[in-house]
């Protein structure tokens, strides 16, 4: 009674499947479906570069056209991961240069990329189209010159937030005159000035240019020259947004903006001068994304600008917006989905702006589509959090950073357990949560009980005991990434929930109370986890087993222990022995 579903038919159906999860499910149906699927997978996402090796990926998926990969743990953004930790992309580029000659896209996050890697990319992949380096480091503008010179089919070059050694702006001039396919360029992280005439000519000859994010060094007076040559721009990042106050500069700028009828996103605005803000008025009503997080403009200029952007879906801004500006935002921007408020004076002892919990409450009240929040402030109450939770059960990402660690509800002096508890109870689709303020084990009980869709949790200076960690590991069914710093979590919860760690991408714990002995035991028990101890004090063997490790990074892997660890990282292997003293 057998029948055979023709392979070609299945392949045709799979063509429509882009989601990795769906494709992974297809692969599990039977051996032949596994085979068919693996030959037609074109896009691979590797969430942790050490979870697998290039050889394994290439062996399973021989016809890949696009690779997206992430390296260092998230806390590397805040200098918690020492220099030289790893996440080198070169071995991947080297292997793919042979296996995937038709590779078109490489998107990397938090990886170390060298000029050598960039040169190899530029020479190995004839149809290379997209390079996105997000929060990467290790390369110079010479590497960029290779890309510009050799990738004749390049569509996208996006260096967002990468740390580039800026030798000169000359790299941009390496795009040949015959090169016309640029669609997206993000060079906002670079310091040096590029040749403006080279930039102008590049923009003029690339009719498909949609995204242009300039760096600070591009002067405001010259921006109109670029806008006039690219009125089809959808996303623009300005350079420095200040110039001598002159009416000719102003009118030139305003006119150039008025030609850009498709503009949906704006960013840049370094050193913004309020006098030039109204030059943007013609584009405000169409903007869906506005990043003012480098602009040190204050209310009322800031409020006035934001209130004009009625279609805004995403706003990134400094806390100069204050409660009053957020209230205006909540009245004007009913389509707002994402709000990020960054601190203008993160290390100041006293508040420098009038931004409190009330600002966030206003936005949660007025913006029905608000689902993603990153908010830095200096005070919070349980009542405010409860109100926010009640207003916005559709919240998906909620990251609250109260600048002073372990600060309680400033009205009741209680921990913020009930507030965050309300968030996880009400926001049933919550996928990401970062907490701060004074928090006891109780909040983790709430999280373990209610946060069933939670995928990423960030904890700092919180909890009382191992029970807190146990609640999270045993209760959060969807947890993929857990990062913890300065919490009194130790061996018991970790060892009791060892199996859970294989269902997650990674666990980071720094300045906690996990002993070296427990790390060894975990490494022994769980061969499919890499248990890496990071300790800059020297070999953990030189200290008693009960001594807590500085940092611990645990991740599931099919690639075995990694071979590129620096001197301060030790992998706890199956064959490490435990001494009982």
Partner 1 sequence: MAQESELNFKATELRLGLPGTDECEDMISSVKNNNKRSLSETVEDNASKDITSPETPPAPKAQIIGWPPVRSYRKNNLQTKKTESETGIFVKVSMDGAPYLRKIDLKIYNGYAELLKALETMFKFTIGEYSEREGYKGSEYAPAYEDKDGDLMLVGDVPWNMFMTSCKKLRIMKGSEARGLGCGV
Which residue from 134, 211, 511, 576 is in contact with partner 1, where contact means CB under 8 A? 511
Q: Within 68-180, where are the H helices?
A: 90-99, 115-124, 141-150
Q: From the CB of 382, what's the least distance to partner 1, in Å?
A: 15
3-state secondary structure of 105: strand
Q: Which stretch binds partner 1 (CB under 8 A): 15-23, 166-174, 304-312, 342-350?
A: 342-350
376 lies in the binding site for partner 1 (CB under 8 A): yes
Strands (E) in 110-264, as ranges, are: 130-134, 137-140, 156-158, 163-165, 184-186, 211-213, 235-237
Instruction: Indicate the SS3 state at residue 332.
Output: helix
User: Three-state SS for 56?
Assistant: helix
Shortest separation between residue 187's beta carbon and partner 1, angstroms:
14
- Measured from the CB atom, the residue of 125 and 241 that comes closer to partner 1 is 241
**Cα(137)–Cα(164) distance, integer angstroms:** 6
| Cβ-based nearer residue to partner 1, 82 or 231 | 82
Nearer to partner 1, 36 or 295 (CB): 295
Q: How many contiguous H segments (helices) and E segments (strands) does the chain have?
A: 21, 23
Minimum separation from the CB atom of position 255 to partner 1 (A)? 29
Question: How many CA atoms, within 13 angstroms, populate the side-chain half-sphere of residue 84?
Answer: 7
Query: How many residues sit close enough to partner 1 to count as binding (CB under 8 A)?
Result: 41
Could you count the other beta carbons within 10 Å of the beta carbon of residue 91? 15
Rg (C-alpha) for the chain, rounded Å, is: 26
Using CB under 8 A, which of 50, 294, 508, 568 touches partner 1?
A: 294
Among 255, 486, 545, 573, binds partner 1 (CB under 8 A): 486
Which one of residues 28, 349, 558, 563 is an interface residue with partner 1 (CB under 8 A)?
A: 349
Taking CB under 8 A as the rule, does residue 80 contact partner 1?
yes
Q: Which two tokens stand for residue 413?
A: 């002096």
Question: Which CB, 39 or 342, lies closer to partner 1?
Answer: 342
User: By C-alpha distance, which of 543, 557, 551 is closest to 570?
Assistant: 551
For partner 1, the closer of residues 211 and 511 by Cβ is: 511
- Lay out the site mask for partner 1 across 143-182 (x = CB under 8 A, - = otherwise): ------------------x-x-------------------
Q: Which of 296, 307, 571, 576 binds partner 1 (CB under 8 A)?
A: 296
Pairing assessment for the beta strands 551-556 and 529-534 based on DSSP bridges = antiparallel
Q: C-alpha 155: how far from its chain's center?
A: 22
Nearer CB in complex with partner 1: 73/448:
73
CB of 88 vs partner 1, minimal distance in Å: 21
How far apart are CB 123 and partner 1 at their closest, in Å?
Answer: 30
Q: Which residue has the tokens 């009330």?
A: 358
Take residue 337 and report the two structure tokens written for it.
């989905």
| Separation CA 346–CA 112 (nearest Å) | 28
Give me the phi and psi of 522, to 5 degrees please: -60, -45
80 versus 496: smaller Cβ distance to partner 1: 80
Residues 526-565 that bind partner 1 (CB under 8 A): 548-550
If one asks whether residue 85 binds partner 1 (CB under 8 A), the answer comes out as: no
Stretch that binds partner 1, among 7-15, 200-208, 260-268, 339-347 (CB under 8 A): 339-347
Site for partner 1 in 269-288 (CB under 8 A): 270
For position 485 contacting partner 1 by CB under 8 A, the verdict is yes
Give the up-direction half-sphere exposure of residue 80: CA atoms within 13 A in the CB hemisphere: 20
- Residue from 236, 487, 519, 531 in contact with partner 1 (CB under 8 A): 487
CA–CA separation, 300 and 123 (whole Å): 52
Find the binding residues for partner 1 in span 439-468 (CB under 8 A): 460-461, 463
- C-beta of 1 vs 349, nearer to partner 1: 349
Q: Choose, by CB under 8 A, the member of 179, 342, 354, 410 that binds partner 1.
A: 342
Which residues within the stretch 241-270 sit at the binding site for partner 1 (CB under 8 A)? 270
Nearest distance, CB of residue 513 and partner 1, angstroms: 5
Element (H, E) at 66: strand 66-70
* Distance of alpha carbon 211 from alpha carbon 201, whole angstroms: 16
Range in contact with partner 1 (rule: CB under 8 A) among 112-120, 356-364, 443-451, 507-515: 507-515
Q: Is 75 in the site for partner 1 (CB under 8 A)?
A: yes
Distance (Å, whole) CA 150 – CA 154: 9
> Counting contacts by CB under 8 A, is residue 346 touching partner 1?
yes
Rounded to whole angstroms, how far apart are CA atoms 314 and 286?
A: 12
Instruction: Supply the DSSP string of 344-408, one letter for each residue.
Output: SSTT-SS--S---HHHHHHHHHH-TT--EEEEEES---HHHHHHHHHH-TT--EEEEEESSTT--
Q: Which is nearer to partner 1, 296 or 394 (CB)?
A: 296
Please pick, from the candidates 93, 279, 403, 423, the single residue that binds partner 1 as defined by CB under 8 A: 403
Q: Which of 438, 459, 529, 554 lies at the binding interface for partner 1 (CB under 8 A)? A: 438
Report the C-alpha gap between 424 and 271 in whole angstroms.
39
Tokens matching residue 341: 């408020």
Which residues of the shown chain bind partner 1 in the complex (CB under 8 A)? 75, 77-80, 161, 163, 189, 270, 293-294, 296, 342-347, 349, 376, 401, 403, 405-406, 408, 413, 438, 460-461, 463, 485-488, 490, 511-513, 548-550
């Amino acid at each position: 009674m057998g029948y055979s579903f023709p392979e070609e038919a299945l392949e045709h159906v799979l063509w429509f499947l882009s989601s990795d999860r769906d494709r992974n499910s297809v692969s599990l149906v039977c051996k032949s479906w596994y085979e068919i699927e693996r030959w037609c997978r074109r896009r691979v996402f590797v969430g942790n570069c050490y979870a697998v090796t290039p050889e394994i990926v290439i062996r399973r998926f021989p016809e890949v056209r696009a690779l997206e990969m992430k390296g260092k743990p998230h806390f590397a953004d805040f200098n918690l991961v020492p220099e030289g930790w790893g996440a080198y992309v070169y071995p991947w580029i080297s292997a793919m240069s042979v296996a995937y000659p038709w590779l078109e896209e490489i998107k990397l996050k938090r990886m170390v990329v060298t000029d050598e890697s960039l040169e190899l990319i530029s020479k190995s992949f004839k149809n290379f189209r997209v390079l996105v380096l997000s929060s990467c480091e290790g390369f110079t503008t010479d590497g960029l010159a290779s890309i510009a010179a050799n990738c004749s089919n390049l569509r996208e070059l996006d260096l967002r937030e990468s740390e580039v050694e800026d030798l000169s702006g000359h790299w941009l001039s390496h795009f040949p005159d015959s090169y016309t396919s640029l669609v997206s360029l993000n060079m906002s992280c670079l310091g040096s000035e590029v040749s403006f005439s080279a930039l102008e000519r590049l923009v003029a000859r690339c009719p498909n240019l949609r995204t242009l994010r300039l760096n600070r060094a591009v002067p405001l007076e010259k921006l109109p020259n670029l806008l006039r040559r690219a009125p089809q721009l959808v996303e623009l990042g300005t350079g420095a947004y200040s110039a001598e106050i002159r009416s000719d500069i102003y009118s030139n700028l305003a006119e150039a903006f008025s030609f850009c009828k498709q503009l949906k996103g704006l960013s840049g605005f370094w050193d913004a001068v309020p006098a030039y803000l109204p030059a943007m008025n013609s584009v405000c009503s169409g903007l869906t994304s506005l990043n003012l997080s480098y602009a040190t403009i204050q209310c009322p200029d800031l409020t006035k600008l934001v209130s004009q952007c009625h279609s805004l879906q995403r706003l990134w801004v400094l806390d100069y917006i204050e409660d009053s500006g957020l209230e205006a935002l909540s009245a004007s921007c009913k389509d707002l989905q994402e709000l990020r408020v960054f601190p203008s004076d993160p290390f100041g002892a006293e508040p420098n702006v009038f931004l409190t919990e009330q600002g966030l409450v206003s936005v949660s009240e007025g913006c029905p589509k608000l689902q993603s929040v990153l908010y830095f402030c200096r005070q919070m109450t349980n009542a405010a959090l409860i109100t926010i939770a009640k207003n916005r059960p559709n919240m998906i990402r909620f990251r609250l950073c109260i600048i002073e660690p372990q600060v309680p509800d400033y009205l009741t002096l209680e921990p913020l357990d009930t507030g965050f508890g309300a968030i996880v109870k009400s926001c049933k689709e919550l996928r990401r949560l970062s907490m701060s303020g004074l928090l006891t084990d109780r909040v983790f009980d709430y999280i373990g009980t209610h946060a069933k869709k939670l995928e990423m949790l960030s904890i700092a200076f919180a909890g009382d005991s191992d029970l807190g960690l146990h609640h999270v590991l045993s209760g959060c069914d969807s947890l993929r990434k857990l990062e913890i710093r300065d919490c009194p979590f130790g061996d018991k919860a970790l060892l009791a929930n060892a199996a859970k760690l294989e269902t997650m991408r990674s666990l980071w714990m720094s300045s906690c109370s996990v002993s070296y002995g427990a790390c060894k035991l975990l490494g022994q028990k769980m061969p499919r986890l890499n248990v890496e101890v990071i300790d800059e004090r020297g070999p953990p063997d030189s200290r008693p087993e009960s001594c807590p490790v500085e940092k611990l990074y645990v991740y599931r892997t099919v690639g075995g222990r990694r071979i590129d660890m620096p001197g301060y990282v030790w992998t706890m292997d199956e064959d490490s022995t435990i001494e009982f003293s």
